[in-house]
Amino acid sequence: PSEEVINFSPGPTSLPKDVEAQIAASFNKPGFTSLSLSHRAPEFLAILEHAIATARAVMEIPEEYEVLFTHGGGHGQFAALPLNLCTDMSDIATYVVNGTWSARGRDEASRYCDVHTIDGSDPETGLFTHFPELTESNVHTDSKYVYFCSNETVNGVELHRLPSLPESLKHIPLVVDASSDFTTKPIDWRGSGVGILFACASKNIGHPGLTITVVRKDLLGKASPLCPGIFNYTTNSEAGNLWNTPATFNIEVVGMVMDWLLKEGGVHECERRSIAKSEALYKVIDHSNGFYGTPVNNKVLRSRMNVPFNIAGGDDALTNKFLIESWDKGMVGLRTLTPFGVGDYLRASLYNGVTVEEANKLAAFMTRFQIEND
Ligand code: PMP
């Protein structure tokens, strides 16, 4: 196999090489990394402030939003959201379900509030390849919030810009699961009416377990009395992210990734690269006369983060050959099992840790593989 490893894993995955080198170097300061500092030590407070300030700078987060580092990954937020925004089971929340992760978020929320579901599957095929328009007729007027996922990691459907609600419903806050696309495109926080946006760290900005949760301050103080303190945005905001021991090292890594993003040109440059990386692959797929297939035909909704593709309609022998030969070239993470059993698609994930050059290598490999096997 190749010496070089190119990691196309859907997450957790590799971080940019410069950041990984910085992490490795930090272990050469025994006793002085964030793993061995009290979370209340001034040295850690500086690390925490830095992670927040750089995240704010990269994503242009306005001052009326609080930046929290929360526990329990994306699933922690699936539960924390209704527990923070609904007082009891009679409170309504609208969920757009157009993929596997929004379905999971909806299912978890339904344990804590009265969920109103907008079926976001394609009306003709019933498949998750679509995103519905949000209208007065499908959004419940009494919703405490409207929830959706801006990049469905498994299905390969992405909103390249956030949708907004019709004028008459603009008072309802949007809640966005941006776990797999955070930092790869700008967010119009005020214009889109974002109330809360969360991203588990393990794709674009760090390591598993930690989640960045951005909360508009007027939504604090609305939690159910049953909301555990560890999930309570108000408690954690009042304690400056130090209500309990936060995931100190993971937070330091987020700061390193944010520094790297700023140095590389910020979120606009990141978006430019994401377009270049994903287009390299979609171009090969679209020009393959059906040798490669991808489920999302509507190009406007194709994910730049996760490119699902199959080979000769999902042919087992050719798919395995593809995986063995690409693995020999150091390309890993293309086949992953999900808890959702979503068929024979391979998936190339193109987070911040994958360079444009590396995506081009996969595209070139795919082209050659087709010539040799079609
Ligand atoms: N939301 C999205 C969009 C995801 O891709 C994932 C993880 N793959 C999650 C939520 C769940 O995150 P976690 O595993 O950290 O709970």
- For residues 51-62, give the mean pLDDT: 98
ipTM above 0.95, yes or no: yes
Q: For position 342, what pLDDT does the model report?
A: 62
Q: Is pLDDT above 90 for 81?
A: yes
The answer, yes or no, to whether any atom of ligand 1 lies below 6 A from the CB of 132, is: no
Q: Is the pLDDT of residue 349 over 60?
A: yes
- Ligand 1 contacts CB of residue 184 (under 6 A): no
- Taking the mean position of all CA atoms in its chain, how far away is CA 228? 24
The predicted structure's pLDDT at residue 307: 97
Instruction: Decide whether any atom of ligand 1 lies within 6 Å of the 153 Cβ.
Output: yes
For a pocket test of ligand 1, which of 9, 77, 101, 207 has the largest count of ligand atoms closer than 8 A to its C-beta? 101
Indicate whether this model's pTM tops 0.95. yes
DSSP 138-166: TS-TTEEEEEEESEETTTTEE-SS-----
Instruction: Work out whether strand 151-152 and strand 157-158 pair parallel, antiparallel, or are unpaired.
Output: antiparallel
Determine which residue's CA is closest to atom 3 belonging to ligand 1: 179
How many percent of the chain have pLDDT more than 90?
Answer: 91
Question: What pLDDT was estimated at residue 28?
Answer: 81
* Ligand 1 atom showing the smallest separation from residue 11 Cα: 8
Buried b (16+ CB within 10 A) or exposed e, 94-109: bbbbbbbbbbbbbebb
pLDDT digits (tens, 9 = 90+) for 273-324: 999 999 999 999 999 999 999 999 999 999 999 999 999 998 999 999 999 9
Question: What is the Cα gyration radius of the chain?
Answer: 21
Average pLDDT over residues 186-214: 97
Would the pLDDT of 133 be above 80? yes
Query: What's the CA-to-centroid distance between 101 and ligand 1, angstroms?
Result: 7
Judge whether 47 and 248 are in contact, CB under 8 Å: yes
Domains by residue range for the chain, with CATH? 18-262 (3.40.640.10), 266-373 (3.90.1150.10)
Give the separation between CA 150 and CA 110, rounded to whole angstroms. 20
Residue 272: which H helix or E strand, with range? helix 266-286
Position 340 confidence tier, pLDDT thresholds 50, 70, 90: low
- Does residue 295 have a cis bond before it (omega within 30 degrees)? no
SS3 53: helix
* CB of 73 shorter than 6 A to ligand 1: yes
Residues serving a catalytic function are 101, 177, 203
